[in-house]
Amino acid sequence: MAKRAERGKAYYMISAVSQKYNIHPQTLRLYEREGLLKPSRTEGNTRLYSEEDLEQLETILTLTRDLGVNLAGVEIILNMRRKIEQMQREVNEFMDYVKRELARGIDDWEQRLSTALVKSSPTDLVRHTPNSADADTHNSKLKTQK
């Protein structure tokens, strides 16, 4: 079932949309049947196109008129765009979560350091392991001492 029109938003009837975009009303109905557009409806079942619907229509017209994409290709492209936008939202949510956790972790770390019995910086807690050149120098000193 199509969504109902919300009050306070601008909506356009099919005749106004077809005239504005120089497109036959039957083409708009076809786009709706194909699932490319989903205009809302009035109580009397009249199609009403929102600003979002018009943006979608402009995308469809660009793909079909300018780029020569058929309706099956348009459907695939629109679905891929929706999936990419959803994935972008999920990545943004994950990044926000990571930032919050890192900030919380830093706060916890600073609190632990302030209440520690022995004050030290995090770099003092890292053990230094000599590299192979240092080990060779150390071994040669031991041999000369013997």
Model pTM? 0.64
Phi-psi region of 5 (alpha: psi -120 to 50; beta: other; left: phi over 0): beta
Q: Which amino acid is at 83?
A: K
CATH of domain 12-89: 1.10.1660.10
At residue 40, the 3 state secondary structure works out as strand
The one-letter amino acid at 128: H
Convert the pLDDT of each residue in 15-66 to its tens digit. Answer: 999 999 999 999 999 999 999 999 999 999 999 999 999 999 999 999 999 9
Q: What confidence score (pLDDT) does residue 2 get?
A: 45
One-letter-per-residue 3-state SS of 64-104: HHHCCCCHHHHHHHHHHHHHHHHHHHHHHHHHHHHHHHHHH
**Residues 6 or more apart in contact with residue 17 via CB below 8 angstroms:** 23, 28, 49, 54, 57
Q: What is the pLDDT of residues 76-119, one digit of tens each?
A: 999 999 999 999 999 999 999 988 888 887 777 777 777 766 66
